[in-house]
Chain A
């Protein structure tokens, strides 16, 4: 590139890229002047210009008589079509008389969904302890009341059967007595546990099954000759 520097003091080969990139008239003029004495830059500039000249011939024009009618048709269809939510609604192709009813049904559905969602959220926030085994205070009171009444009736039944059990002479009656003792022990243990955890629904159902078993056994004792 030494010989090129003789040609133009303002421009040397290192400025070639900048000139081709920026294409400012001053830099291109300087490059042209420099190119008269620098073969490599002249070759580069010529290739660059050849590409530009060839590119101009890449512009093509051809007749397309069917194109505008196609565009016109599609534009007319597009212009005739309603826009936005109306377009969506029109696309449903509904019977015109039914449209307001469907709109109303949609509104009702949306309101019902909203209310359902609100209730679900509200319920989940008002019951922070979501355990199936635990009862609420109100429910515990109701269960305890029913349980007391049930216990009292079973106690009455037990009093009726007591003389018969005390005078048990047959193996069957002795077995019943043994079973009733075991059931009383289980009931007592279950009640002790319930005192510690009154809202435990599982313990309550277990206690109920013991009482039912006791009731059935007492009835069998009373039926025994």
Chain B
């Protein structure tokens, strides 16, 4: 996913903002076609974010559906303080937090093995694979929700720190710091996994 950091992308961004404003106005009017347009434009990224934050595709789709309902309920409060798409991703991330909290609570009451479930990652096959991918996916699930969100939004989905700041309600610098913490923790977890893998190989 390309990161739109270069000045050449500025004109594209202006166009995108105009499209955002038109789309948000249509959604505010309760136009289903506008929601469909939003779905076509954002759902792939929304599903991917939700999948990486929640760990399974079924929950990810449920969260995307919930996000659209919340967009509809909250659209009258959207005053254009950020891009419409950024605002929708903010709702998505909050829905993911809620879903994860509910699941954790349910698991606690059902006395199931939370750690075991957290480490399972039921995801569709990636478009391009990387030798580290599977290990990384498991390690990402062990990060705190905050660090995981920043890592997924920046490294996986290619958002800028300024956009992440708006989505998570933090400063750009806080987003940079969180990304550094996340990567440092991932490096540590990956080293541990590599160590235990070597140990298991030597034992067998």
A binds B: yes
Is A21 interfacial (CB-CB < 8 Å)? yes
Q: Bound state CA distance, A76 and B47, in angstroms? A: 21
**Which residue from A57, A62, A78 sits with its C-beta under 8 Å from B57?**
A62
Least Cβ–Cβ distance between A76 and chain B, in angstroms? 7
Chain B residues whose CB sits within 8 angstroms of the CB of A21 once the complex forms? 176-177, 180
Q: Tell whether A58 is near chain B: CB-to-CB under 8 Å.
A: yes
With A22-B176, A71-B35 as given contacts, are A52 and B124 in contact (CB-CB < 8 Å)? no
Q: Are A58 and B61 in contact (CB under 8 A)?
A: no
Residues of B within 8 A of A54 (CB): 130-133, 136
Q: Residues of B contacting A78 with CB < 8 Å?
A: 69, 72-73
Query: Within the assembled complex, what's the spacing in Å between the Cα atoms of A65 and B73?
Result: 24
Q: Complex Cα distance A52/B125, Å? A: 18
Q: Is B64 touching A67 in the complex (CB atoms < 8 A)?
A: yes
Please, how many residues of chain B have a CB less than 8 angstroms from a CB on the other chain? 46
Q: Smallest CB–CB gap between A27 and chain B, Å?
A: 12
The residue of chain B having its C-beta at the shortest distance from the C-beta of A24 within the complex is: B176
Return A191 CB to nearest CB of chain B, in Å.
73
Contacts of A55 in B (CB 8 A): 136, 151, 155-156
A71 partner, pick from B64, B128, B140, beta carbons under 8 A: B64
* Chain A residues with CB below 8 A from B133, complex form: 54, 57-58
Let me know if B126 and A50 touch, CB within 8 A.
no
Q: Residue of B at shortest CB range from A63?
A: B124
Contact of B132 among A17, A20, A51, A68 (CB under 8 A): A51
**Option from A23, A58, A62, A70 in Cβ contact (under 8 Å) with B136:** A58
Chain B hits for A50, CB < 8 A: 132
A-B contact count (CB 8 A): 112
> Which of A156-212 touch B at CB < 8 Å?
none
Query: Known contacts A62-B57, A78-B72; is A48 also within 8 Å of B64 by CB?
Result: no
Q: Does B65 touch A at the CB level, under 8 Å?
A: yes
Given the contacts A75-B69, A78-B72, A56 and B176 also touching, CB distance less than 8 Å: no
**Counting CB contacts under 8 A, is B51 at the interface?**
yes
Residue in A closest to B73 when the chains form the complex, CB atoms? A78
Q: Is B155 a contact partner of A56 (Cβ separation < 8 A)?
A: yes
Cβ–Cβ < 8 Å partners of A76 in chain B: 32
CA distance A51 to B126 in the complex (A): 16
Taking CB atoms, residues of chain B closer than 8 Å to A52 are: 155
User: A51 to B186, Cβ gap below 8 A?
Assistant: yes
Interface 1/0s, chain B 26-45, versus A by CB < 8 A? Answer: 00001010011001000110
Closest 10 CB pairs of A and B: A55-B155, A54-B132, A62-B124, A21-B180, A54-B130, A57-B130, A58-B156, A54-B136, A57-B126, A71-B68
A-B contacts, 7 of them at CB < 8 A, read A53-B132, A54-B131, A60-B123, A60-B127, A68-B36, A76-B32, A79-B72
